[in-house]
């Protein structure tokens, strides 16, 4: 078992969730039960799956939860593209969040690969 609170991937993804929630506050109210809700859920799923996976007794099981976390990050990436296309964020903000997601994906994938090597 791993202490998820000590993992950089968890810490960074929790900070990222906070940024996503701040971003979605700027979206139109009509998106509250649509894009806002979906983006917040997929963002929150990233650290939540890292935390849940850390409780597993095998690295193989933990790696599976990391894959789910990466999947959630790709879902969020798609939702950011839609938000950009709808004009809810400009190119600069979009690139900022895109870079953050890419960084998280690389970190999570690297950690997953390391776990699988140890197994």
d(CA 100, CA 11): 13
Q: Which of 40, 20, 8, 17 is nearest to 94 (CA)?
A: 20
CATH number for position 84:
1.20.1440.60
**Total number of domains constituting the chain:** 1
Q: Which tokens belong to 40?
A: 């917040």
Q: Which tokens belong to 3?
A: 């202490």
Domain that holds residue 112: 4-118
pTM of the model: 0.94
CB 37 within 8 A of CB 20: no
| pLDDT 10s digits, 30-71 | 999 999 999 999 999 999 999 999 999 899 999 999 999 999
Q: Which residue matches tokens 């790696």?
A: 63
């Amino acid at each position: 078992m791993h202490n998820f609170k000590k993992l950089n991937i968890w810490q960074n993804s929790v900070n990222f969730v906070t940024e996503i929630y701040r971003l979605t506050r700027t979206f139109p109210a009509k998106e509250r039960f649509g894009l806002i809700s979906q983006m917040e859920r997929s963002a929150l799923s990233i650290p939540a799956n890292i935390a849940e996976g850390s409780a597993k007794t095998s690295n193989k099981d933990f790696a599976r939860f990391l894959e789910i976390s990466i999947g959630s990050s790709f879902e969020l990436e798609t939702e950011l593209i839609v938000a950009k296309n709808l004009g809810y964020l400009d190119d600069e903000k979009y690139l900022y969040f895109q870079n953050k997601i890419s960084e998280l994906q690389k970190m999570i994938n690297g950690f997953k690969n390391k776990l699988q090597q140890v197994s």
